[in-house]
Structure 1
Amino acid sequence: MGDKTSLTIHGVTDTLKEEDKKYSDALKITGEVFAEVEAIFNDENYASRTGWFKDESNDDGDIVYAKDTRHGRMVTITTELPMPADFVIKETWEGMETLPEWNQNINFAGIIASPTPQFDIVTYGNNDVLVVSGREFVSARIWRKVDDGYILASRSVTVPSFKSKHKGKVRAHLHLAGARFRPNPANPETTLTDVVMLADLKGFLPKMIVNQVIGRVMLMDTVTNRRHFHDLKAKRDEKKD
């Protein structure tokens, strides 16, 4: 793994400049969460959803699967996005700050620091869902090319220098969030996307309410995200004509 100011995953090393060494703990955390996320996706039981149960679904055929862990309920979903994997990772990584413009579930989003091209620290907040008021997150993200696709992983971090502008929002804790983007073997112009998330919403919420909300939010985000990529594809196709 190297020292605290550098991190090597899949043959690529992120090295912090002198002025960014204050983010060394966050860099280390991304290394840990990347390993956990990759292990989940590589688990032979993941593809078959062995050990998971159906949590939420919709008429589009989307199904959120869940499993209960010692940190709370972990949820996952698989969908197909209508753009190539290279485009999907680029848009997902670089489009962070534009999330509130097209995702009605997101109240605000911003980048706190971007020390390397593949490691950053972000903040975002979601809107109220059912009886749960909007939450705020501060997390570190990292991505790598893995085989012919990509894996992106994220976990909450503490950034002492960061002061939230959003008073009254409860700071939730993201144990892990991960996405895997792979070219669809049946159509390489589309991307098979797996997303997994485990979050502690904090605040005084009954476990039953939290469990209801987590899966529903993932389903809403999946539908919204797919619509966004359909819109981007339509714009790209217009330019081609």
Structure 2
Amino acid sequence: MSSEEASLTLYDVTDTLEKDDEKYAKALQIAGEVFGEVEALFNDENYESRQGWFKDESNDDGDIVFAKDTRQGRMVTISTELPMPPDFVMKETWEGMETLPEWNQNINFASVIASPTPNFDIVTYGNNDVLVVSGREFVSARIWRKLDDGSYLLASRSVSIPSFKSKHKGKVRAHLHLAGARFRPNPANPETTLTDVVMLADLKGFLPKMLVNQVIGRVMLMDTVTNRRHFHDLKAKRDENEDS
């Protein structure tokens, strides 16, 4: 294995795998690839204007899931405002992986398989049943960077980890083609974060395409509402501690 395969540099930060973690070199390179794809997507002027996207799901809170159909399936995205600064949002999103089932009713289980560097890890998680689609399991590599403008970019893609044996029998292993989140400082209020999330997944199994398309947008909408509520709860606790 070359030293290039066991390290990755993005935005002047280098992830270097220790000897014991070199088995995750392919996962690290896959994480780097999806990071570039997510960054390009968010920076595309057509993304900002939602040119080429259509409205898929919405709620009374004003949340709108936009979607576009690709060769790999339906890609969905949503934007929202979270009531905490970007540094806090990124830290909670990254480090709070294993607590997801405690507050997100859509998540059945979540854990970190390996955390080779502060900016790169491998996780597994499973969602609960949605409509008539049974819960799926994912195994993916995640990577994040702080960008030059003070925002953060997080990207994830499914990876194969031969040494990992799932403890959750009966769950179909889905494939995450691409998932990403961008956390930007809100120019109108530095105490809040402008958040964009995008996802493209193959749920696998014998499911009608129409049903899969219904489920993916609905799950993203549910997750957005739940996630925002979680950050409101965290803000309330922080404010309470500051006042006491």
TM-score, length basis structure 1: 0.99
Match of 2:168 in 1: 166
* Corresponding position of 2:57: 56
Residue 105 of structure 2 is aligned to residue 80 of structure 1: no
> Which amino acid counterpart does residue 213 of structure 2 have in structure 1?
N
Matches within 5 A, 1:54-133: 54-133=55-134
1:24-49, CA deviations, whole angstroms, 9 ceiling, x for partnerless residues?
00000000000000000000011110
Once residues 172 and 188 of structure 1 are traced to their aligned partners in structure 2, the CA distance between those partners, rounded to angstroms, is: 37
Match of 1:16 in 2: 17
Determine the C-alpha separation between the residues in 1 that align with 2:69 and 2:154: 22
Match in the other structure for 2:200: 198
SS in 2 for 1:31: helix
Q: What TM-score, normalized to structure 2?
A: 0.98
Per-residue CA deviations over 1:84-133 (Å, capped at 9, x if unaligned) read 00000000000000000000000000000000000000000000000100
- The secondary structure found in structure 1 opposite 2:163 is coil
1:196 Cα deviation from its structure 2 partner: 0.2
SS in 2 for 1:61: coil
Query: Corresponding residue for 1:213?
Result: 215
**Equivalent-residue separation in structure 1 for 2:201 and 2:34 (angstroms):** 13
Alignment correspondent of 1:44 = 45
Q: Runs ≥4 in structure 1, deviation > 4 angstroms?
A: none
1:171 alignment partner AA: R
How far apart are residue 17 of structure 1 and its match? 0.2
What percentage of residue pairs aligned between the two structures are identical? 85
Q: Please state how far the C-alpha of 1:148 moved relative to its aligned partner.
A: 1.2
**Per-residue CA distance 1:130-160 (angstroms, 9 max, x = gap):** 0100000000000000121100000000000
Cα deviation per residue 1:153-191 (whole Å; 9 max; x = unaligned)?
Answer: 000000000000000000000000000000101001000
Q: Give the whole-Å Cα distance in 1 for the aligned partners of 2:225 and 2:187.
A: 22
Residue 90 of structure 2 aligns to a residue whose secondary structure is helix
SS in 2 for 1:239: helix
Aligned-partner Cα distance in 2 for 1:77–1:5: 34
Between the aligned partners of 1:81 and 1:91, the Cα distance in structure 2 is: 12
Indicate the residue corresponding to 1:237 in structure 2. Answer: 239
**3-state DSSP of counterpart to 2:52:** coil
Q: Deviation digits for residues 44-66 of structure 1, max 9, x if unmatched? A: 01111000000000000000000
